[in-house]
A and B are shown apart, each in its own frame.
Chain A
Amino acid sequence: MERNPMRRQLAIMRQSLFDQGYLDEQFIQLEELQDDANPNFVEEVVTLYYRDSARIILNLEQALERKPFDFNKLDGLMHQFKGSSSSIGAKKVKAESTLFREYCKSGNAEGCTRAFQQLKREYDTLKRKLEAYFQLARQAGPAETACRRK
């Protein structure tokens, strides 16, 4: 069956996202909510995340252009961003958010700038990986279909 190798590839890709620390248990919680009533739930939620978080990242970029930094505002924005990232299980992104907030609390402007750059790298990397994952998932199709066609 053609789809089996794809589903195997999909499973390997999925596992590597966890093994390499990109995703945590919360992603599995989202997968458990996916069912016949919500067949594309995980992808929908992740899409919503990228839409919502893009807005926050833009706000952070604008806030980081104003000197001196308003650390309270930056921390507040990052709190929102971290919350959203936690909701999809974005483990590395969440860790970078935490680091950024620590720099905010200690008033370390250079630390904030560095942490933000690193956070954006992790954010973009995860986005690419998840896009590839969902694209493969769409190509692989639902697992049950292959069995029924026999």
Chain B
Amino acid sequence: MQIANSLSVLIQQQISSHELEHNTGSADSTYRSSCPKGKTNKMANRIMALIVDDNLLNQRIHSTLLNKHGIETEVMGNGKEAVDAHFSGKKFDLILMDRDMPVMNGIQATRKLREMGVRSIIVGVSSHSSEQVKEFMEAGLNDYQEKPLTLTKLTSILQRWNLSL
């Protein structure tokens, strides 16, 4: 119970810091906030998501989940691929980061992306205990959801982080 409460506090802190950044018009979020829903600027409204997961099943399910929300997706099989992609200039609005992956796991990748200055919304997706979630959150996640992701969980993420079209 105490750990669940600590996790809620951590998530609330992440939300508050994101809202602050959002209001000061950070580069990553400005184009989204300036395009009201229903307007025709499709390029500006397009949300790009990156799914980082070594499991093919989860890659397929999470892609389809996001596509159903009108979100374009790209898939990578481990944290290093995600980091390398950002080094080469790729940007995403949302990153779904699995925790356990070969080569570079989700904790290491999240930490690295934040060190690089990546300000995308990073949502950790895993099936670990609350203690291990805390370590993952502290690496720089904005949010965390337990696997498997569902339509409801994804909707709540998108609404919480203002990523709905």
Same assembly: yes
Task: Using C-beta atoms within 8 Å of the partner chain, give the interface range for chain B.
Answer: 10 to 19
- The answer for the CA separation of A26 and B152 in the assembled complex, in Å, is 12
B114 within 8 A of A: no
B37 within 8 A of A: no
Chain A contacts for B147, CB-based, 8 A: 83, 86-87
- The answer for the CA separation of A48 and B14 in the assembled complex, in Å, is 35
Identify which of A30-38, A119-127, A130-138, A142-150 touches chain B: A30-38
**How many residues of chain A are within 8 Å of chain B by beta carbon?**
22
> Which single member of B55, B64, B127, B151 contacts A38 (CB below 8 Å)?
B64
For window 113-164 of chain B, which residues contact chain A by CB distance below 8 Å? 127, 147-148, 150-151
| Most-contacted residue by chain B among A26, A29, A80 (CB, 10 A) | A29
Separation in Å of the A86 CB from the closest CB of chain B? Answer: 5
For window 41-80 of chain A, which residues contact chain B by CB distance below 8 Å? 41, 44-45, 48-49, 52, 79-80
**A84 and B64 contact, CB distance less than 8 A:** no
A112 within 8 A of B: no
Chain A contacts for B68, CB-based, 8 A: 33, 35
Chain A contacts for B93, CB-based, 8 A: none
A88 within 8 A of B: yes
Chain A residues within CB distance 8 Å of chain B: 26, 29-30, 32-33, 35, 37-38, 41, 44-45, 48-49, 52, 79-80, 82-84, 86-88
Closest 7 pairs between A and B when the two form their complex, measured CB to CB: A87-B148, A29-B150, A33-B64, A87-B57, A84-B57, A48-B57, A86-B148
Chain B residues within CB distance 8 Å of chain A: 55-58, 60-61, 64-65, 67-68, 100, 127, 147-148, 150-151
